[in-house]
Amino acid sequence: MDYKELLNQSFYSLKANKLRAFLTILGIVVGIFSIIAIMTIVTIIQNSIESGLSELGTNTFQIQKLPAFRSGDPKERAKYLKRRNITYEEFLQLKDLLTDAKYVAAERWKGGLVAKFRNRETNPNIPLIGITPEAIYTNNWNIESGRAINSIDLHYANDVAIIGKDIVEKLFPNVDPVGNEITIGGKKFEIIGTFEKQGDIFGESRDNFIVIPITSFFKHFGTVEPFAWSGSVNIMVMSYSSEDYDETIDKAIGYFRVVRKLSPNEENDFEIFSNESLIEQVNQVTSGVKIGVFAVAAIALLAAGIGIMNIMLVSVTERTKEIGIRKSVGATKQDILIHFLFEAVILCLVGGLIGIFLGIVAGNIAASFIGGKFTLPLLWISFGISICILVGVIFGTYPAYKAANLDPIEALRYE
């Protein structure tokens, strides 16, 4: 059996009915396009989130007041907002208890500030972060020039700051910022260092921030904020290794319950946030999207498969005499069966490849609006091609079987 010849004949048959072939594969195009486009977007989002999670160091988790993801339920939201803020004093108590951790750090955030240097100033969108020295490591920040905040700065509440790359580019385009004085929210700070560039996530820069000692933060910006979620301290904990990571989380929860004076029957009034927990929550959200896409794609592929079966049955009827001639010159049932199966699979593969190409293009264009990087979802491409072959085999088998079992004499008499 010459498979190359069968393949050529299959392509020739499809070329002879271009419009019919195009309309037949349209359903396959829609089905595969739906899968590849959405999965490309989902893959890009997941990759961006996972790469962006480097904001927490390896083997690091965070204790915070609110969960990373909150539902739109007003009652649930109100429940979280009524929680007590985590205080700096509670952080100090936990740090004294949690001696098995590598680092225990604290941070407080305040957004919407303006930073100024001489006649230059930023937009009013600068986050200011008050930290303890260990937060440099738990946040996976790297100092590019100058030095980090140390225990002396913390103890004396020194007015010193480390600035992100965006601040450097905006206020100090041709000047070394280290040693200069910057005004933040109307308060003056000496710049002691700059951070290495971290890049963007979802089109939002991770280099547009300023860090000061948390004691200086309290001194200048107070400990009470007008919003329930903005006055709470975040506590970050880094374990020594991945082996003792889970144990460190358990100890931190236990000790912090003691610090917060929670009784055994009370639930935690704080959240544990980690790279792994955020990825898991993202996967839970995207799993629903994937199920919906598969449902839509399955309907489209089913309709396309029925269309392919129908068009192949029409093709068998139209080519009855051709089948009779081929059988009369020695073609076997197997030859005829494989020939028509080839045509069905080729129809599906052509539609699938078009759908894959359009899906990748559309998915990456859509993801570019949220700052995602170009991605080629090889796993889903392989899945799409496999589905196309499967649809072609399933829906092409009956027409191919019918063609293979035609009586050659009757077929030759067919008009």
Within 191-244, residue ranges assigned H as helices are 214-221
Model confidence band, residue 323 (pLDDT cutoffs 50, 70, 90): confident
**Is residue 264 located within the same domain as residue 295?**
no
pTM across the whole model: 0.65
Confidence of residue 170 (pLDDT cuts 50, 70, 90): very high
Do both 105 and 232 map to the same domain?
A: yes
Whether residue 214 lies inside any domain: the answer is yes
Mean pLDDT computed over every residue of the chain: 83
Task: With CA atoms as reference, report the closest residue to 213 among 107, 60, 142.
Answer: 107
User: CA 388, CA 29: separation in Å to the nearest integer?
Assistant: 10
In a domain, 59, yes or no: no
Is 136 found in the same domain as 256? Answer: yes
**Exposed e or buried b per residue across 299-330, where buried means at least 16 C-beta atoms within 10 angstroms of its C-beta:** ebbeebbebbbebbeebbeebbeebbebbeee
Average pLDDT (161-175) is 93
Of 269, 302, 336, which residue constitutes the final position of a domain?
269
CA distance 91 to 87: 7
Is 65 a member of any domain?
A: no
Same domain, 224 and 115: yes
pLDDT in tens, 88-134: 999 999 999 999 999 999 999 998 899 999 899 999 989 999 999 99
| Together in a domain, 384 and 247 | no
Residues 285 and 264 in one domain: no
Instruction: Say how far residue 275 (Cα) sits from the centre of its chain.
Output: 13
Does 322 share its domain with 398?
Answer: yes
Same domain, 97 and 133: yes
Number of domains observed in the structure of the chain: 2
Q: Which of 6-15, 88-97, 145-154 has the lowest mean pLDDT?
A: 6-15
Domain end position, chosen among 269, 304, 330:
269
In a domain, 23, yes or no: yes
Q: What is the pLDDT of residue 225?
A: 47
Which 3 state secondary structure label does DSSP give 160? strand
Q: What is the pLDDT of residues 235-287, one digit of tens each?
A: 999 999 888 988 999 999 999 999 999 998 999 989 888 766 666 666 666 77
Q: Helix count (H) and strand count (E) of the chain?
A: 14, 14
Each as own residue / partner, the long-range contacts of residues 312-319 (CB below 8 Å, 24 or more positions apart, any chain) are 312/340, 312/343, 312/344, 312/395, 312/396, 312/399, 312/400, 313/398, 313/399, 313/402, 315/13, 315/17, 315/340, 315/343, 315/399, 316/340, 316/399, 316/402, 316/403, 316/406, 319/13, 319/403
Integer Cα distance of 374 and 44 in angstroms: 8
* 79 occurs within a structural domain: no
Please indicate, yes or no, whether residues 233 and 158 belong to a single structural domain of this protein.
Answer: yes
56 phi and psi angles, rounded to 5 deg: -105, 135
Any domain includes 176: yes
pLDDT at 78: 79
Query: Are 329 and 382 in a shared domain?
Result: yes
- 182 and 307, same domain (yes or no): no
Average pLDDT (394-406) is: 82
Compute the distance between CA of residue 298 and CA of residue 353 in angstroms, rounded to an integer.
Answer: 17
Q: Single out the residue in 269, 292, 307 at which a domain terminates.
A: 269
Within a domain: 276: no
Identify whether 57 is part of a domain: no
> 341 with 399: CB under 8 angstroms?
no
Q: What is the DSSP letter of 116?
A: E
User: Residue 159 sits in which domain range?
Assistant: 84-269
8 A C-beta contact, residue 308 and residue 395:
yes
155 and 295 part of one domain: no
Quick one: pLDDT band at residue 411, thresholds 50, 70, 90?
A: low
Structure tokens that stand for 97 in this block: 């208890």
